[in-house]
Amino acid sequence: FSPGLLVVAGSFAAFRLLNRGLERLVPPPPSARRNRWKWRNIWTSLAHSALPDTHNLSPCRFYLHPEMSKDLVGTHPPGAHSLVAVSVGYFLEDFVDMLCNQKLHQSWELLFHHSVVIICFGIAVLLHQYVGFALVALLVEINSIFLHLRQILLMANLVDTTCYRLNSLINLGTYVVFRIATLAWMTRWLFLNRQNVPPATYAVGTVGMAIMTPMNIILFYRLLRSDFFK
């Protein structure tokens, strides 16, 4: 039994409660009332991406703890383990939310994505290792802020606005930096450190990168086509 599992369970419950109460906090506009659960789901995801002490401070953690960039297996700053456990709880909650409210053929890509993340982050939480590697992966969530804002603006029928166009530019810029470049760096790190990583963990990490990289490239193409080449 790992105390990190308590943090995972608490995070799952907290995000579940937030999801239930979001419709009162952020009432859906008329254009989103036919898909109320999706409105709540996106705002819950935005709340996770914008947590003040998680992904937004991840770059600062590497600056304040330079030793972590050299050892992503056994080195991590205080609170980093709990941060990863909180994210596992969120991804579990989002997995359950989509499974209960959306048809499988509409959500299988995200369910597949979440399954990979839960497995990889779960290993870090249970073993108290590779937490630094998980923190690098959480840099992706900086882009998720603008990705979720894009969905909110779409649901609110605010496509033809300056806010949407500005968000689209920032979304693509952060996508390249915090998704594509970050995943490329993680893949390179795995390759260079394959001698220091147990075969089973290396296999999980390699499969995870092999799945995530093409998924993110495809999503980038869809965003580019939708927002700029339409």
Q: Are the C-beta atoms of residues 110 and 41 closer than 8 Å to each other? A: no
**51 phi-psi bin (left φ>0, alpha ψ -120 to 50, beta other):** beta
Q: Are the C-beta atoms of residues 117 and 18 closer than 8 Å to each other? A: no
Q: What is the pTM of this model?
A: 0.88
pLDDT value of residue 181: 92
Distance of CA 195 to the CA centre of its chain: 28
Q: Are the C-beta atoms of residues 175 and 220 closer than 8 Å to each other? A: yes
What's the domain range around 169?
3-228
pLDDT value of residue 56: 47
Residue type, 113: H
pLDDT value of residue 88: 95
Digits of tens for pLDDT over the chain (230 positions)? 578 899 999 999 999 999 999 888 899 999 888 899 999 999 999 999 987 555 445 555 665 566 566 667 777 776 788 889 999 999 999 999 999 998 888 888 899 989 999 998 999 999 888 888 888 888 888 999 999 999 999 999 999 899 999 999 999 999 999 999 989 988 888 888 888 888 888 888 888 888 888 989 999 999 999 988 86
CA distances from 46 to 2, 32, 114, 130 (A): 28, 16, 16, 25
pLDDT value of residue 63: 55
The model's pLDDT over 209-223, given as tens digits with 9 standing for 90+, comes to 888 889 899 999 999
Number of domains in the chain: 1
